[in-house]
């Protein structure tokens, strides 16, 4: 039995697709027994356990984050008490907080423990005391785990520096989907897509401002924005004020099935990380991985770890995080002009890091 334990982000009642969803899809495909415990990352969403095919949900704290962290540890403890993973079981715990109780009980219960580092930061919290707790939990999880799955090559390098290189393996955010990996048709090159949060950390205003500029050279251009966030109203108002209803579609948050459907008809993916979220430096952008899965070239800033991979494999354009509207527009138009080249390389990028192959190796399946 596999026990998957992870925080997830909820937006408008929808749990946002992440690493644990990919693991669940893989285990289902391999006909392995598993159950999943979702913990809400923020104040939206409920604790949810998927066991024996039936979800059980119960409310999480809605106001105090410290109280919520303590409750998270308590609920993971209750999970261990109720389901008692044993010697024949494997626990895959995403992030150090979820791993803590399992790390404490592993010597007694004898299960295999995989600590999945889905993100990392040298200074996770601005508060020195909270950051010291984070560092302690991370190091304790590393000492007790049998394996440490690292979502990016930068985290693998960090683990080597910390003395845990023998446990660390690279497991990128490549999706596992029912659809096959593919190249994209050049007929889609005018359709831009961005999937993620609507906020300054993803340079949404720069992206929007580039559309009128590019329409002069590429009048059939269309941008689809998927997601929600602090700048939702700004996005809606910008579209109306600049009379761009025919050229920009804002969908709000979508289920992952609908996101994938949108990607299959898109031509260029956007991922403009500003670097405002310091953990993005160690991150492996799932947006980029999903775009590449369908042979969609990307335009990304040089913030996430896999930006260097995009540059190396020529699967898109990598820009400085201070990117201007003019520079962004030029990069998109360059991809349009050489679309088949970039789409082929995006597809090849996805094939090299196929998730199923890596998981089969790490889980001996």
State the Cα–Cα distance between residues 58 and 278, nearest whole angstrom. Answer: 32
pTM above 0.95, yes or no: no
Burial, 310: exposed, middle or buried (Cβ in 10 Å; 0-12, 13-18, 19+)?
buried
Identify whether residues 236 and 164 lie together within a single domain.
no
State the Cα–Cα distance between residues 82 and 91, nearest whole angstrom. Answer: 14
Identify whether residues 18 and 153 lie together within a single domain.
yes
CATH code of the domain in which 23 resides: 3.40.50.2000
Number of domains in the chain: 2
**Last residue in a domain, options 114, 142, 171:** 171
Identify whether residues 280 and 148 lie together within a single domain.
no
**Last residue in a domain, options 115, 139, 171:** 171
SS3 17: coil
Identify whether residues 159 and 301 lie together within a single domain.
no
Q: Does 311 map to a domain?
A: yes
**Last residue in a domain, options 171, 202, 227:** 171
State the Cα–Cα distance between residues 47 and 337, nearest whole angstrom. Answer: 48
Q: Does 357 map to a domain?
A: no
Identify whether residues 155 and 204 lie together within a single domain.
no
Half-sphere exposure of 268 (CA within 13 A, CB side): 30
Domain that holds residue 229: 186-352
What token pair was written down for 16? 């946002």
Q: Does 137 map to a domain?
A: yes
CA dihedral 297, 300, 302, 308 (to 10 degrees): -20
What tens-digit pLDDT sequence spans the chain (365 residues)? 999 999 998 877 777 888 899 999 999 999 999 999 999 998 888 999 999 878 899 999 888 888 998 999 999 999 999 999 999 999 999 999 999 999 999 999 999 999 999 989 888 887 888 889 999 999 999 999 999 999 999 999 999 999 999 999 999 999 988 888 999 999 999 999 999 999 999 999 999 999 999 999 999 999 999 999 999 999 999 999 999 999 999 999 998 899 999 999 999 999 999 988 877 889 899 899 999 999 999 999 999 999 999 999 999 999 998 899 999 999 999 999 999 999 999 999 999 999 999 999 999 98
Q: CA–CA distance from 63 to each of 41, 48, 98, 209, 264 (Å)?
A: 13, 19, 20, 36, 39
Identify whether residues 14 and 147 lie together within a single domain.
yes
- 75 phi/psi in degrees, rounded to 5: -70, -35
Identify whether residues 253 and 302 lie together within a single domain.
yes
Question: Contact, 175 vs 289, CB < 8 A?
Answer: yes
């Amino acid at each position: 039995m596999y026990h998957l334990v992870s925080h997830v982000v909820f937006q408008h009642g929808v749990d946002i697709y992440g690493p644990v969803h990919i693991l669940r899809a893989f285990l289902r495909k391999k006909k392995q027994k598993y159950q999943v415990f979702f913990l809400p990352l923020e104040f939206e969403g409920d604790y949810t356990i998927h066991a024996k095919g039936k979800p059980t949900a119960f409310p999480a704290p809605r106001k105090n984050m410290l109280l919520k962290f303590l409750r998270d540890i308590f609920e993971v403890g209750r999970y261990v008490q109720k389901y008692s993973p044993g010697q024949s079981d494997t626990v895959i715990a995403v992030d150090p907080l979820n791993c803590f109780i399992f790390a404490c009980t592993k010597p007694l219960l004898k299960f295999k423990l995989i600590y999945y580092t889905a993100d990392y930061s040298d200074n996770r919290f601005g508060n020195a005391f909270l950051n010291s707790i984070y560092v302690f939990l991370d190091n304790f999880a590393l000492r007790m785990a049998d394996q440490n799955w690292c979502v990016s090559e930068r985290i693998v390098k960090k683990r080597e520096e910390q003395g845990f290189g023998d446990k660390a393996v690279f497991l990128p955010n490549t999706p596992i989907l029912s659809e096959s990996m593919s190249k994209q048709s050049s007929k889609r090159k005018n359709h831009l897509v961005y999937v993620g949060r609507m906020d300054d950390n993803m340079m949404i205003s720069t992206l929007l401002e580039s559309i009128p500029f590019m329409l002069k050279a590429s009048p059939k251009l269309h941008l689809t924005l998927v997601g929600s966030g602090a700048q939702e109203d700004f996005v809606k108002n910008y579209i109306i004020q600049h009379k761009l209803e025919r050229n920009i579609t804002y969908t709000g948050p979508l289920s992952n099935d609908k996101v994938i459907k949108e990607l299959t008809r898109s031509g260029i993916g956007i991922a403009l990380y500003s670097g405002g979220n310091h953990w993005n430096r160690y991150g492996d952008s799932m947006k980029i991985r999903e775009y590449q899965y369908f042979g969609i070239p990307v335009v990304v800033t040089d913030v996430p770890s896999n930006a260097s991979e995009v540059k190396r494999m020529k699967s898109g354009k990598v820009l400085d995080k201070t990117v201007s509207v003019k520079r962004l527009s030029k990069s998109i138009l360059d991809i349009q002009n050489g679309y088949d080249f970039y789409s082929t390389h995006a597809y090849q990028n996805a094939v090299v890091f196929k998730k199923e192959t890596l998981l089969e190796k790490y889980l001996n399946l």
